[in-house]
Structure 1
C-alpha cells in the first residue's frame, strides 16, 4: 500500500529533514518575491518609458529578469515534477528517470569508489591496528568493548535452548569421553606417570595422611581391629592387641614415608607397572574396566550430570557478565587494554594485522563490488518515483533555488545589456 505523504513536507521525517525543508521554503520564497519584484518594476517602467529615457533601461532589465526567473523556475521544477501540472515533454525528469539514475549511481560507485586501486590506496594510508590500539588503551573504550562482549554473551546464553545445549554436551561427552575405550588410555597415562616418577609423590602423600589419621584417631583404628576379633577374647587382650596393632601400623606407615627404598614402595611400583601392562594387553581386564565405566555413566546419570553442570555454569557466567565489578569483566577489560598496548608496541603485529585486514577487505570488495553497488541500484528501484523525486529535492532543492535567483539577476543584466547595445546601434545608424 502506498504511503500517503503531504507534498508540502517532501517526505521529511527527521528533525534534520524539517530543517532542510524550512531552508528550502525560505529560498523558494526569496526567488518568488524576486520574480514578483521584477514584475512590479516592469509594470511601472513600462508605463514610464515614453516619458523618461532611463525607464526604458529599467524596463529592459526587469523584463530580462522576469524571463530568466521564469525560465529557471521551469528548469528547476521540471527536474522534480510537471510545471503547473502540464504534461510537457521532458519534465518530471527524476521521477521518470529514477531507474536510470539508480543504475548510473550504482555504476558510478562501483567504478570510482570500489575500484581495486582506490580501495588499495585508501587502505595503505591508514593503520587500522595502530588506530585500534590507541582507542583500546583508553580505559573507557576498553570498558565499552567489555560491556559489548558481556551483553553479547548474556544474549547468547539467553537465546540458547537448555535442552539443545544439554543434548549437545551429552553427545560430545559420550562421543569423546564415554564411548572411547578407557583401559588402554589409563594404562598409557599411568605408564607415563610411572616413568616420570610421579607415583612416588603420591605414595608420600598417602603415607603422610595415613599417619596423621592413625595418630589422630586411634580409637577408630582400635574399633576396626576389635571388630575382627572373636567374641571369646577377653577385653584386656583386645586392648593389648589394638594398641600393639596400632603402633605397628603407625611404625609401618612412617617407614614407608621416610624410606624411599622400602619394600612396600618396591611392591607398589611392581604392582603399578604390571597393572599398566595388563590394562593395555589383557582383554578380560579391559572388558571389566569398560563395564565399570558404563555402570558409572549410564544415560540417565549422564543427563543429570550434564544438566547440573550446564545450569551451574550458565548461572555463574551470567551473574559474572551482568556484574560490572566482577572479576571476569575486570579480567576482560585488562585483556582488552593489554591487547591495545601490544598493538601499539609491536610493529610486527601491527604489520600482520594491517596486511591481513587489507587483504581481506580487498578480496571482499573485489569479489562483491558489483553486489555492493547493486544494493544502491536496487534501493533506488524500490523507491516510489514521486518519493525519489521528493527525497532528492529535499536534499538539494535549497541550492537549486540559487539557480532561479541567479537567473533573475543574469537575465536582468542580459536584458539591459541587449537593450543598451540595440539603442546604441539604433542611435548610430539613425
Structure 2
C-alpha cells in the first residue's frame, strides 16, 4: 500500500506539473520548458490560422457547401415568413420613409426637362388650336368676347369727348363731300343752323344702337357673334396663322427656363411620395402585396429562380475570393486582443474537467504501477 500511494503521489504531481507547465510556470518558478502556451503564442496562433484557412475553412470547402444550398429559395421563403411579422413591417416602413426622404431627384431633372420640351414640341399646333377653339366655342367664348367688346365700346362712346369727335367727323365728311354741289351747300347750311340738333340725333342714334346690340334678339348682335364664330373657325385651317403660332410655340419652348417649374415639381413629387409611404397601411396594402406577387412569379419560373440563385452565389463567391484571407486575420485580431492570462483562463475553462481528470488518471496510473513494482519487489525478495 505504501508503494502504491507513493507512486500515485508521484504520478499525480508529475501530471499536475506537466499540465500546469503548458499554461504557466508551476508555483511561479521559471523552470525551463514551462509556460509553453504563452512562450509559443505566436507560433500557435499561426498554426491555428494555417489549419483554419487551409484545412478547415478552405475556399473550396466553402464553395462546395454554398453550391449545395438553394440560397434563392431559402431567401424567398424567409422573406415570405418575415413579411408577416410586425417587426419586419415596421422596419420596411422605416426603410421606405428613409428612401423617400433622401431620394435625390436632381440627377433626373435635365432628363425631365428634355422630355417635357420634346413632349410639348411634338404636340401638333393644328390639333391644339382646333381643340382650343372648339373648347372656347363650347364655353361660349364668342359671346363673352362680344360682351366684353361691347362694354368697352359702350364705355368709350359714353364719354362726351368721344361723342363730340364723332359729330365732328360726320360734319367734316359732309363738308368734304358737299363741295361745288348745290344740295351739298344747302345741306351744309342746314347743318350749320342745326348743329346742336345733329349732335343730339347722333347721340340718340348711338345710344339706340348700343341698346339694340345688348338685346339677345338683336339681328345685329347675331350677325356680329356669327362673324366672330366664323373668324374663329377660319383660324383652324389658316396655314399662315398656324405656322406663326407653331413658330412662336417652338421659340417659347426653347427659350423658356423650366428649372423653377421643375424645382417646384421635384418638391411636390417628394412630398407626395413621402406622404404615400407614411400611410398607416402602406406595408400591408401596398408594399407587401407587391413583394409577395414578385416572389410567387419568381417561384413559378424555375429558370428565373435559377438565375437569381446563380447570381447570389456568384456574388457570395466573389466576396469569399476577395476576403477569404480575412477569416484568418479576423481570428488573429481577436486573439491578439487577448492577454496571455486571458487565453490561459479561456482554455482552462473550456478543458478544465479534462485537465483535472489527467491529474486523477496520473495518480491512479502511478498507484497501479507502484503496487505492481512493490509486489514484484516483495516476490523476488
**TM-score category by the smaller chain?**
0.5 to 0.7
Is the 1:143–1:333 contact (alpha carbons within 8 Å) kept by the matching residues of 2? no
Matched, 1:422 2:373: yes
Q: Distance in 2 between matches of 1:312 and 1:182?
A: 17
Output the TM-score relative to the length of structure 2.
0.67
Map of 2:334 onto structure 1 = 379
TM alignment of 1:19-58, pairs within 5 A: 56=1
Contact 1:105-1:377 at 8 Å conserved across structures: no
- The Cα of 1:133 is off from its aligned counterpart by 1.7
Query: 291, 296, 302: which one pairs with 1:336?
Result: 291
Residues 190-232 of structure 1 show CA distances to partners (whole Å, capped at 9, x for unaligned) of 4xx68xxxx75x6775456434422xx8874442241354623
Which digits, 9 at most, give the CA deviation of each residue in 1:47-104, with x for residues without a partner? xxxxxxxxx1xx4454444444433333443343333222223333333333333323
- Greater RCO between the two (CA within 8 Å, min separation 6)? 2
Q: Which runs of 5+ in 2 are unaligned?
A: 158-205
* Partners of 2:21 and 2:35 within 8 A in 1: yes
Counterpart in 1 of 2:136? 210
Per the alignment, residue 96 of structure 1 pairs with 39
Q: Which residue of 1 aligns with 2:21?
A: 78
- Number of the residue aligned with 1:189: 122
Give secondary structure in 2 for the equivalent of 1:134.
helix
Task: State whether structure 2 residue 179 is matched by structure 1 residue 224.
Answer: no
| TM-score normalized with structure 1 length | 0.60
Shift of residue 126, structure 1, vs aligned partner: 0.7
Bigger-Rg structure (1/2): 2
Give the total of aligned pairs: 326
Question: In 2, Cα distance between the equivalents of 1:325 and 1:134?
Answer: 23
Is the CA contact 1:142–1:336 (under 8 Å) kept in the aligned structure 2?
no
Q: Within 2, Cα distance between the matches of 1:334 and 1:82?
A: 67
Q: SS at 1:337's partner residue?
A: helix
Q: Is 1:238 matched up with 2:190? A: no
How far is 1:351 from its partner? 0.9
1:127 to 70, 86, 92: 70
Cα offset, 1:349, TM superposition: 1.6
Query: Within 2, Cα distance between the matches of 1:337 and 1:418?
Result: 74
Change (3 A) 1:416 1:78: closer
Determine the structure 2 residue equivalent to 1:345.
300
